[in-house]
Structure 1
C-alpha cells in the first residue's frame, strides 16, 4: 500500500513539472506521427494486394514483422526503419578507434561530436539506398510477389523513397533526443516493438484454445525475460581503486565494469551477419539464374539460415550464438580499453590493491573484462535465441497442445531494448526532477 502511494506521489511530481510534461507530450506526438507513416506505401505498390495480404506473427517472417511494427504489411516507405542510421553509427564508433582523425574528433567534446554526427548522417544515405533496393525485392517476395512490378525504374524509385523515409525517421529521432524525454532512436525502436507486440497478442489470443492458459504462459515468459535482461544490463563488477599522495591514502573509489558493457550492439551485428547470406540467397532465387549449382546453394542457405523464421535451422541458431559472443568480445575491446583505463588510474596516482600500476593493472582489468564478456555474451545469446529454444523443449510442446499455439509475444532482443529504454526514461525523468529541485533552492 505504501509503495502504491509512493508511486502515485512520484507520478504526480512528474506531471506537475511543466518541463517534463511537455517533453513527454512532445515525444508522444512524434511517436504518433511515426506510427501514421507506417500506413504510407511506396509508389507503384498494388493497394488491393496489400489490403488482402497480411503478414501475421505465425507467418514465416513473424518476428521480422513484429520488430518493424507493421511497416512490412503495408510495404511502407519507412519499411527499412532506422537500421541504416544504426549501421552508420556503429561504423563511426568503430572508426573512432581505428582512424586517428575520427578519434581526434571524439576527444574534442561537443564540437567534435557534432561533426561525427554529421558524418554519420552522410553515411546513412548510401546505406539506406542500398538497403532500400534489397528490401523492395525481399518485401515483395514476402507479400506474395505480386505487390509491385520489380522493373528497374520501380525498384530504383521505391529505393529512393525508402531512403527518404529512413532520413525522415532519423530526423524524428533527433527531434525526440533534443526536445523529448529520451534517446530518439531508442524510442522509435521501442514504439515499433510495442506495436508489433499488440499485433502478436491479438493473433495469439485469437487462435488460443485456452485464453487463460495462453495469458499465464505469456506472463511467465515475459517475467523471466525481463528479470534476465535486468540482470544482464544492471549487473556490475566493481574494482576498488585507492588514490595515494606522499605514501598516504587520500581517497578511494570503485571502478565499475558492467556485465554487458556493449548493450545491444552484438545482437545487431550478429543478426546482420547471419541474415546476410539468407537475404542474398533470396535475391539469387528471385532472379533465378541459369547456374544450377548456384541455385542449389541458394536454396540450401534459404532453408538453413532463415533466422527470421519461428523455427530456423540449427546452423542458423548456432552461428547466431557464436557471432553474438564474438561481437561482445570484439566490441568491448574496442570501446572499453584496459590500457587507457590503467594509464588514467596511474596518472591520477591511483592503484588497485595488490596489483602493480601500469601493465599489470591493464592485464588485471583485461582479465576481468574477458570473464564478464563471456558470461554477458552468453546471457545475450540466451535471450536472443529463447524463441527458438522453446520450440525444441518437449514439455513446452505439451503446453502448446493444451493452449493451442506457442505465443511469442516479443523477441529476446526486443525485451532487452524495452527494459533498456524504460530504464533510460526513468533515469532521465529522475535527473530532471533533481535539477528542478536544485533550481528551486537557487
Structure 2
C-alpha cells in the first residue's frame, strides 16, 4: 500500500491532484479556526473547555463541522446545510414530477438539480446561521458555562446581520472548495471534507477518554476504546462491501449483419443500500425535542421528561426509539432511492432478463422481494453499529460524542474506501499495481 502511494506521487498528473486536494483540506481546516466578527473569542474558548465531552443536542452538527460550530468560526455551519439540501432534493425528486423529469434528462438535468441544491444550501445556511447567533446570544449554546451569555456582547442588529452573512459566506466557500476537489482533485469533494471534519475530532475525543479514565491512569479505557474501534471498522468494511448480485442475461439481437447482446452481467444490491442516511435522519429527528427544550428554557413536566428520556443518549427510551427510527428510515430511503419497476422496464427494453424470471412485472416483484430481504440485515446492522458504543462503553464514561459512534465510523470507512478505489483505478490506468497485489 505504501509502495502504491509512492507510485501515485511519482505520476505527475496524479501527484498534482493529490497535492491540490491536500491544499484544499488545509484551507478548510484554517477556516474552521477563524472566529467571526462580533464574538468574544476568549469567552468562547472558556465555554468550549467547560463543555468538553458534553456538547448536548448540537453534538452531531458540531461533529460534521469539525468542531467549528461550538467555536463559532467562519466555517461554523460546515457542510451540514449542503448535506441537508441534498437529502431534501433527493426526497423531492420522488414527489415532484418536474424534478423527476430533470433527473432522467442526464447530465443537463443533473446540472440543474445541482444548481437548485446550491440555492437551497444558501437558504438553509441563512436560517441555521440566524438560529446559531440567536442561540449564542441567549446563552443556550453552552448551558453549563458561566460566561455563556457574554459570547456575543454586542446585541446590535448590524452585528447580527454581519455574523449571519459571514457564516453564510463560509458555507458557500465550503461548497465551492468541495466542488473544486471533485473537479480537480481525488474523490468526491463534499465527502472528503466530511471525512476531514469527523477525523479532526478524533484525537481530542480519544484523549478526553484517556484523561477521564480511572483504570491505570486512563490507559485501560483508552486501549479498550481503540480495540472496539478497530473491530467496528473491520465489521463496517465487511458489511459495506457485501452485496447480493442478481444475474442478468441479455438476449442476442441481430441488427443488419451485426449481432448485439448475448452477454451476462449482474445487478449489485448492497446489504446496506441506504448508507449513512438513516442514521442522520434518526439522529436529527431525536435532536429536535431536545433543541426545543434547550431554546425554551422550560422547567415543566414535559421538558423534564424530554431531557431525561430523549436528550440523554444512555436513556432506555432514547436507545429503543433511536434503533427503531434507524430501521424505519433504512426501509424508507431504500424504497425511494431504488425503483424495481424502473429497473425491470429498462431491462425489458434492452432485452435483459433474470434467468428463471419472466421479464416485466415478475422481475420487478422479484427485485422487490430480494431488496426487502437484504434490507432487514442492513437496517439491523446500522442500528447495532449506532448503539454498540453507547451500550458497551457506558461503564468507561463514553458519551454521545464517542468518536467511534455509528455516524462517524460509517462515513469515515465509506469515504475512505471510495477514495482508495479512485486512486487505485487511476494507478491501474497507468499499468501500475493497485493497493492489493
TM class, shorter-length: 0.7 to 0.9
2:375 maps to 373
Report the aligned-residue RMSD.
2.6
Once the two structures are superposed, residues 113-159 of structure 1 have per-residue CA deviations (whole angstroms, 9 ceiling, x without a partner) of 11111111111122111112222344542333321259472555433
**Aligned mates of 2:323, 2:69 — CA distance in 1:** 26
**Aligned mates of 1:72, 1:99 — CA distance in 2:** 33
* Distance change (3 Å), C-alpha of 1:361 and 1:273: same
**Aligned mates of 1:190, 1:76 — CA distance in 2:** 19
**Aligned mates of 1:155, 1:326 — CA distance in 2:** 40
The alignment partner of 1:80 has SS state of: coil
The alignment partner of 1:357 has SS state of: coil
Q: Determine if the alignment matches structure 1 residue 79 to structure 2 residue 76.
A: yes
Q: Determine if the alignment matches structure 1 residue 436 to structure 2 residue 430.
A: yes
- Stretch deviating more after TM superposition (414-423 or 144-153): 144-153
2:152 maps to 148
Would the aligned equivalents of 2:206 and 2:222 in 1 still touch at CA under 8 Å? Answer: no
2:174 maps to 169
* Distance change (3 Å), C-alpha of 1:73 and 1:124: closer
* Distance change (3 Å), C-alpha of 1:366 and 1:124: same
Unpaired runs of 5+ residues, structure 1, are 1-6
* Distance change (3 Å), C-alpha of 1:142 and 1:194: same
Quote the offset at 1:421 in angstroms: 1.1
Give the structure-1-normalised TM-score. 0.86
Give the structure-2-normalised TM-score. 0.86
The alignment partner of 1:44 has SS state of: coil
Once the two structures are superposed, residues 391-441 of structure 1 have per-residue CA deviations (whole angstroms, 9 ceiling, x without a partner) of 56xxxx3xx3xxxx5483332211111111111111111222233349xxx
Would the aligned equivalents of 1:138 and 1:279 in 2 still touch at CA under 8 Å? Answer: no
Would the aligned equivalents of 1:41 and 1:74 in 2 still touch at CA under 8 Å? Answer: yes
Would the aligned equivalents of 2:249 and 2:353 in 1 still touch at CA under 8 Å? Answer: yes
**Aligned mates of 1:303, 1:170 — CA distance in 2:** 37
- Stretch deviating more after TM superposition (82-91 or 55-64): 55-64
**Aligned mates of 2:89, 2:64 — CA distance in 1:** 24
Runs of 4+ in 1 over 6 A off after TM superposition: none
**Aligned mates of 1:204, 1:374 — CA distance in 2:** 34
Would the aligned equivalents of 1:41 and 1:75 in 2 still touch at CA under 8 Å? Answer: yes
Once the two structures are superposed, residues 76-126 of structure 1 have per-residue CA deviations (whole angstroms, 9 ceiling, x without a partner) of 232221111111111112222222221222222222211111111111122
Residue 267 of structure 1, aligned match among 276, 279, 283: 279
**Aligned mates of 2:381, 2:127 — CA distance in 1:** 33
Quote the offset at 1:171 in angstroms: 1.2
Unpaired runs of 5+ residues, structure 2, are 254-260, 433-437
Count of residues in correspondence between the two structures: 412
The alignment partner of 2:266 has SS state of: strand
The alignment partner of 1:181 has SS state of: coil
Quote the offset at 1:267 in angstroms: 1.4
Quote the offset at 1:185 in angstroms: 0.9
**Aligned mates of 1:30, 1:108 — CA distance in 2:** 32
Residue 99 of structure 2, aligned match among 95, 98, 102: 102
* Distance change (3 Å), C-alpha of 1:150 and 1:384: farther
**Aligned mates of 2:310, 2:371 — CA distance in 1:** 31
1:257 maps to 269
